[in-house]
């Protein structure tokens, strides 16, 4: 087989290029994957694209198969779906998900790929990493039947959390965002939508994913006494003011962080593989197609990523299509 591939690299903050790379010879227990699709998570990847990863977080933010170092040059990404061209008999020819950067073909250990269920189209499976984040967040949050919940921030992660919460019985749920166009996404997910000004308060739980000071302040305002904000936003190198004055202490509010880098301690018996397999199973729901809001060819990535980073192309998950994808 051809032992070369093409990969997208961030050559310098704000600029990317496609480079030819030489693949290593697959060893025993490795698989060779030909990419079908990858996904750009607009929040994290555009922050990386502009060089916004603080030095203190360079190690923590490394993707599993990242090459290079922050800020650049670096090959970064973690939402890849492809077909196993070479590998163990039980994987050969199967569609798999892998936490790999944007690259046309790659070699990884077989343990690094997860088979995509037959009920999940490959084009939708690029959402697996983000739905996995939502699964971990809900393991951390531990919502209860009948809870009053708001998700503030209708980006890719916030919408994924809302989509899963919509399946909880008896919850009063709203997706809250300043962008009125997110109402269409909420409708597709079967979730009530509200602007920040119109959002319903007295919430037991607010999941915050807007990555803005205003969103965090509003999330705190929406809580009932002793309620919890689960903070999913990652602010990179930005300093964020948190409104801890006024009634924050008298109402005994809680702000709790959640991050997909570790499995929630509430599910300490589960593994990373368990969590990812669950996320892929959940993607059998066609409503989640609403989270993919754009698509372009792999060769267009050097032009597309600056537009995603600037907001010129509005997106939740932007899907990348590879050559020879059916």
Dump pLDDT digits (tens) for 4-37.
Answer: 999 999 999 999 999 999 999 999 999 999 999 9
> Does pLDDT of 42 surpass 90?
no
Cα–Cα distance for residue pair 105/36, rounded to 1 Å? 9
How much is the pLDDT for 70? Answer: 96
> Does pLDDT of 1 surpass 70?
no
For residue 96, what are the β-bridge partners?
82, 115
Contact partners, residue 245, CB within 8 Å, separation at least 6: none
What is the mean predicted confidence (pLDDT) over 271-282?
96
How much is the pLDDT for 81? Answer: 98
What is the mean predicted confidence (pLDDT) over 58-71?
93
Which of the residue ranges 23-32, 43-52, 129-138 would you say has the lowest mean pLDDT?
43-52
Burial of 326: CB neighbours in 10 Å, binned 0-12, 13-18, 19+: exposed
Q: Provide the pLDDT confidence category of residue 110 given band limits of 50, 70 and 90.
A: very high
How much is the pLDDT for 326? Answer: 74
Torsions phi, psi of 107, nearest 5? -120, 125
For residue 266, what are the β-bridge partners?
none
Q: Provide the pLDDT confidence category of residue 169 given band limits of 50, 70 and 90.
A: very high
> Does pLDDT of 246 surpass 90?
no
How much is the pLDDT for 58? Answer: 92
> Does pLDDT of 2 surpass 80?
no
Which of the residue ranges 93-107, 155-169, 219-233, 308-322 would you say has the lowest mean pLDDT?
308-322
Cα dihedral 58, 64, 68, 73 sign? negative
> Does pLDDT of 46 surpass 80?
yes
- CA distances 54 to 69, 214, 230, 239, Å, are 12, 22, 22, 11
What is the mean predicted confidence (pLDDT) over 252-263?
93
What is the mean predicted confidence (pLDDT) over 176-186?
96
Quick one: tokens of 164?
A: 């899963």
Is there a cis peptide before residue 288, judged by omega within 30 degrees of 0?
no
> Does pLDDT of 90 surpass 90?
yes
Cα–Cα distance for residue pair 121/126, rounded to 1 Å? 9
Quick one: tokens of 322?
A: 């590879």
> Does pLDDT of 67 surpass 80?
yes
Mean pLDDT of all residues in the chain? 95
Rounded percentage of the chain residues whose pLDDT exceeds 70: 100
Q: Which domains does the chain have, with CATH numbers?
A: 4-126+283-321 (3.90.180.10), 130-267 (3.40.50.720)
Which of the residue ranges 48-62, 164-178, 278-292 would you say has the lowest mean pLDDT?
48-62
Q: pTM of the prediction?
A: 0.92
For residue 223, what are the β-bridge partners?
203
Secondary structure of the chain in HEC code, one letter for each residue: CCCEEEEEEEEECCEEEEEEEECCCCCCCEEEEEEEEEEEEHHHHHHHHCCCCCHHHCCCCCCCCCEECCCCCEECCCCEEEEEEECCCCCCCCEEEECCCCECEEEEEHHHEEECCCCCCHHHHCCHHHHHHHHHHHHHHCCCCCCEEEEECCCHHHHHHHHHHCCCCCCEEEEECCCCCHHHHHHHHCCEEECCCCCCCCEEEEEECCCCHHHHHHHHHCEEEEEEEEECCCCCCCCCCCCCCCCCCCCCCEEEECCCCCCCHHHCCCCHHHHHHHHHHHCCCHHHHHHEEEEEEHHHHHHHHHHHHHCCCCCCEEEEECCCCC
How much is the pLDDT for 256? Answer: 96
């Amino acid at each position: 087989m051809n032992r070369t591939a093409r990969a997208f690299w961030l050559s310098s903050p704000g600029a990317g290029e496609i480079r030819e790379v030489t693949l290593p010879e697959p060893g025993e227990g490795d698989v060779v994957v030909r990419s079908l699709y990858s996904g750009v998570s607009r929040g994290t990847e555009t922050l990386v694209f502009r060089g916004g990863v603080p030095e203190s977080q360079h190690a923590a933010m490394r993707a599993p198969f990242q090459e290079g170092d922050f800020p650049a040059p670096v090959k970064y990404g973690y939402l890849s779906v492809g077909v196993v061209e070479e590998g163990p008999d039980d994987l050969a020819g199967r569609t798999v998900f892998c936490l790999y950067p944007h690259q046309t073909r790659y070699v990884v250990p077989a343990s690094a790929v997860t088979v995509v269920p037959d009920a999940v189209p490959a084009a939708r499976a690029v959402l697996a990493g983000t739905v996995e984040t939502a699964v971990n967040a809900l393991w951390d949050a531990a919502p209860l039947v009948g809870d009053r919940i708001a998700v503030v921030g209708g980006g890719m992660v916030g919408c994924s959390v809302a989509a899963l919460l919509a399946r909880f019985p008896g919850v009063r749920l709203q997706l809250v965002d300043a962008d009125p166009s997110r109402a269409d996404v909420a409708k597709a997910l079967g979730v009530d939508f509200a602007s920040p000004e119109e959002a319903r308060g007295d919430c037991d739980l607010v999941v915050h994913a807007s990555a803005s000071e205003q969103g965090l302040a509003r999330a705190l305002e929406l809580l009932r006494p002793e309620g919890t904000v689960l903070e999913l936003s990652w602010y990179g190198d930005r300093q964020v003011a948190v409104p801890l004055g006024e009634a924050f202490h008298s109402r005994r509010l809680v702000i709790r962080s959640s991050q997909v880098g570790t499995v929630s301690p509430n599910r300490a018996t589960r593994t990373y593989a368990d969590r990812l397999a669950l996320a892929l199973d959940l993607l059998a729901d066609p409503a989640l197609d609403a989270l993919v809001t754009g698509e372009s060819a792999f060769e267009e990535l050097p032009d597309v990523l600056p537009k995603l980073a600037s907001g010129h192309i509005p997106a939740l998950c932007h899907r990348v299509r590879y050559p020879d994808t059916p």
